Chain A
Amino acid sequence: MHIMEGFLPVAHAAGWWAGVVPFLAMGTRSLKRIVREKPSARLLLGAAGAFVFVLSALKLPSVTGSCSHPTGTGLGAILFGPSVMSVLGCIVLLFQALLLAHGGLTTLGANAFSMAIVGPWVAYGIYRAMRGAGASLGKAVFLAAAAGDLLAYVTTACQLAWAFPDPQGGFIGALAKFLSIFALTQLPLALAEGFLTVLIMNALKAHSADELRALEVLPAEGVKS
């Protein structure tokens, strides 16, 4: 989902940056509050960031014959809420833009919007809705992480179609092209991200049940599972 450096017209690049700033401000506030009120959760916060580092470095082959990578932002969104992930996601994107020439500074706004805002918010929304409807933790985590991953890539396709409408087909024509590159490729990877997030959540349940209770992912009075 990385739009390459300089590959968005100036107005689009600036617009996406402007759209990201309020989320970053909100995320920084939320991050400070968590560190202040739940100091014991700091390490887990680091682990959620580390999960994004690992997953967004793993370029995997897909059925379409091209390669892409998961995002890893669903886990943190479920644990700490989506706005925290806008900050963690931006840190990863900045690392990749500065050291790897993967993505870019001018396109960081757009890339952050897809990977660090849309992905986490979709994951969080689906997780809350499914848990509210009585779904098990595992099912909710799987669907939330997979959908967040996929929607991040759909967002990238929309951003590119908006910036580069097809001379014949317009926005829709271009969207079809970019979706065929990003969304199809991402489908199996989104499933993989869903499974991996459930794996990590199971490990957290086994080793960090107290922290999950403090974050209200597990019920407060629950017996150790």
Chain B
Amino acid sequence: MKRQTLWLIVAVLALAIVPLFLRQKTGDEEIFAGADGQAEAAIAKIAPGYTPWFKPVFEPPSGEIQCALFALQAALGAGFLGYYFGLRKGRAQGGA
């Protein structure tokens, strides 16, 4: 069980880290851009006449602020998971 946990973590880390070494930056092209953005570019190529008919109601004013909001989203989720497992473990140990 313990051993399996370790291997699972190693596998996830490897899947996240190995790609970083497979692509080197050459010239000005952007690497590791978002797939969503690439799809947007593909649409512009297929249907050059298409203009989006609705704008986001709120757009984070900069990439940094968008990063902060993504971090907030992850923190909310991770915080709740930590609370959940902490509570379960505490109860099992007779803490509550």
Contacts and interface: CB of A to CB of B under 8 A. Distances in A.
Interface of A: 1-7, 9-10, 43-44, 46-47, 49-63, 65-68, 95-102, 104-106, 138, 156, 160, 164-167, 174, 177-178, 181-182, 185-186, 188-189, 191-192, 195-196, 198-200, 202-203, 206-208
A189 B33 CA distance: 15
Contacts of A1: 36
Interface size class of B (residues with CB under 8 A): 35 or more
Contacts of A138: 4
Contacts, number: 174
A66 B5 contact: no
Interface string B1-25: 1001100110110011011101100
Given A50-B78, A96-B73, A164-B47, A195 B11 contact: yes
A44 B88 CA distance: 10
B73 A195 contact: no
Nearest to A153: B35
A80 B76 CA distance: 21
B4 A185 contact: no
